[in-house]
């Protein structure tokens, strides 16, 4: 692979081999052919190997390439030239290539569709292992992944940070040596990384919007069923449906608060706050929410207490006011949640105001 790179690159280009805890003669062979070698005493993963390679490199343009000879060296010069117009350039393999194992082909298509749907990423091969990028772009990405989920992080963060991403169609060659990718275990790690980044970079879409939908549907169902059972054709909605509507309301609001917490964490890490989030943390809004929540909790508590006292007054027999009990308890809990959310936003109001610009 090094010989192939040297045949297509200028003589002054640095070629760095990172030996990620190999048990064979990888490092010794690499040193014998005159390339820069960096070694990990133990296996630390692909992302960690990339970070080590960047630390050893002195150039401003970086190319990352899997060392199994599956990516064509002749594509590297074109990737580097395209950095005149882009911050990151990705080599895209044909996804139906017979040199990609069948299970990996299925996994690549699944990940491409998921990343396109949830993170609006564009491209046909988001899991490619051939990248060129400027050192400035690498610093902006702030990569944290240690393993094969690094490609997911590159794609998502490049879009979120507004970096210019170009692509080049490349061939995919037969792999040399034993593969390191574990389709199931590494696939789960990739999904976990995509979900974790979704939490940090798309909390509004991932949590706030679904939470609001659940709250609206739950409140609507609770209001409709508060007057008693509802029969729609052959479908009967009664106390069980009322309980479900109440749970949806409370659970949906928790999702909203969770999404807001994620957005506030993003601001703590340097992201600019959304305009509507700034409106939420204005003093009248957050204090109004806290006051409304306290009022709802008080009404729910009084209602709940009156039901209990009435029950005791009637001899504490079978409790038949299940519907009012569900509604009063839900109103009490929802009020507490709303009051807590208002106070929670107050904690971050100073930091948000400081980042308004």
- Chain segment 210-267, per-residue pLDDT in tens: 899 999 999 998 888 887 777 777 777 788 888 999 999 999 999 898 888 777 766 6
C-beta separation of 52 from 38 below 8 A: yes
At residue 344 the predicted structure's pLDDT band, cuts being 50, 70 and 90, is: confident
Provide the mean pLDDT of the chain: 82
Does residue 122 surpass a pLDDT of 60? Answer: yes
Question: What would the mean pLDDT of 179-194 be, rounded to a whole number?
Answer: 55
C-beta separation of 296 from 213 below 8 A: no
CA distances from 184 to 98, 103, 145, 333 (A): 20, 9, 18, 41
At 149, phi and psi to the nearest 5? -80, 5
The predicted pLDDT at position 194 comes to 56
The predicted pLDDT at position 19 comes to 93
Least confident of 267-271, 275-279, 281-285, 300-304: 267-271
Least confident of 147-161, 205-219, 280-294: 147-161
Q: Tell me what percent of the residues of the chain surpass a pLDDT of 90.
A: 38
Cα–Cα distance for residue pair 128/131, rounded to 1 Å: 8
Specify burial of residue 324 (Cβ count, 10 A radius: 0-12, 13-18, 19+). middle
Residue with the larger pLDDT of the pair 212 and 272: 212
The predicted pLDDT at position 104 comes to 61
- Chain segment 33-85, per-residue pLDDT in tens: 989 999 999 988 888 999 999 999 999 999 999 888 888 999 999 999 999 99
Superfamily of the domain at 2-200: Spore Coat Polysaccharide Biosynthesis Protein SpsA; Chain A (3.90.550.10)
Cβ neighbour number for residue 115 with a 10 Å cutoff:
24
At residue 200 the predicted structure's pLDDT band, cuts being 50, 70 and 90, is: low
Residue with the larger pLDDT of the pair 315 and 335: 335
Find the radius of gyration of the CA atoms of the chain: 28
């Amino acid at each position: 692979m090094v010989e192939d790179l040297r045949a297509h690159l200028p003589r002054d280009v640095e070629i760095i081999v990172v030996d990620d805890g190999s048990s064979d003669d990888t490092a010794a062979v690499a040193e014998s052919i005159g390339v820069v070698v960096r070694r990990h005493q133990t296996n630390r993963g692909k992302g960690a190997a990339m970070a080590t390679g960047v630390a050893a490199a002195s150039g401003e343009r970086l190319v990352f390439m899997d060392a199994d000879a599956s990516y064509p060296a002749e594509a590297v010069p074109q990737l580097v030239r395209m950095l005149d117009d882009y911050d990151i350039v990705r080599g895209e393999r044909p996804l139906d290539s017979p040199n990609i194992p069948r299970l990996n082909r299925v996994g690549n298509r699944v990940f491409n569709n998921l990343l396109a749907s949830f993170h609006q990423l564009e491209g046909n091969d988001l899991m490619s292992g051939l990248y060129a990028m400027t050192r400035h772009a690498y610093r902006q990405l702030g990569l944290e992944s240690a393993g094969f989920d690094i490609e997911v992080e590159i794609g998502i963060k490049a879009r979120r940070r507004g970096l210019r991403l170009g692509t080049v169609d490349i061939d995919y060659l037969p792999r040399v040596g034993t593969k390191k990718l574990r389709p199931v275990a590494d696939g789960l790690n990739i999904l976990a990384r995509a979900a974790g980044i979704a939490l940090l970079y798309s909390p509004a879409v991932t949590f706030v919007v679904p939470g609001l939908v659940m709250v609206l549907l739950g409140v609507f169902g609770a209001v409709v069923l508060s007057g008693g059972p509802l029969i729609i054709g052959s479908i009967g909605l009664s106390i069980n449906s009322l309980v479900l509507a109440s749970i949806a309301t409370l659970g949906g609001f928790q999702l909203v608060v969770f999404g807001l917490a994620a957005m506030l964490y993003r601001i703590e890490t340097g992201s600019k706050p959304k305009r509507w989030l700034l409106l939420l943390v204005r003093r009248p809004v957050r204090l109004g929410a806290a006051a409304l929540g306290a009022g709802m909790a008080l009404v729910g508590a009084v209602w709940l207490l009156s039901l209990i006292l009435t029950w005791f007054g009637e001899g504490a027999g079978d409790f038949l006011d299940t519907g009012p009990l569900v509604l009063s308890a839900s109103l009490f809990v929802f009020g507490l949640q709303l009051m807590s959310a208002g106070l929670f936003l107050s904690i971050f109001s100073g930091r948000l105001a400081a980042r308004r610009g």
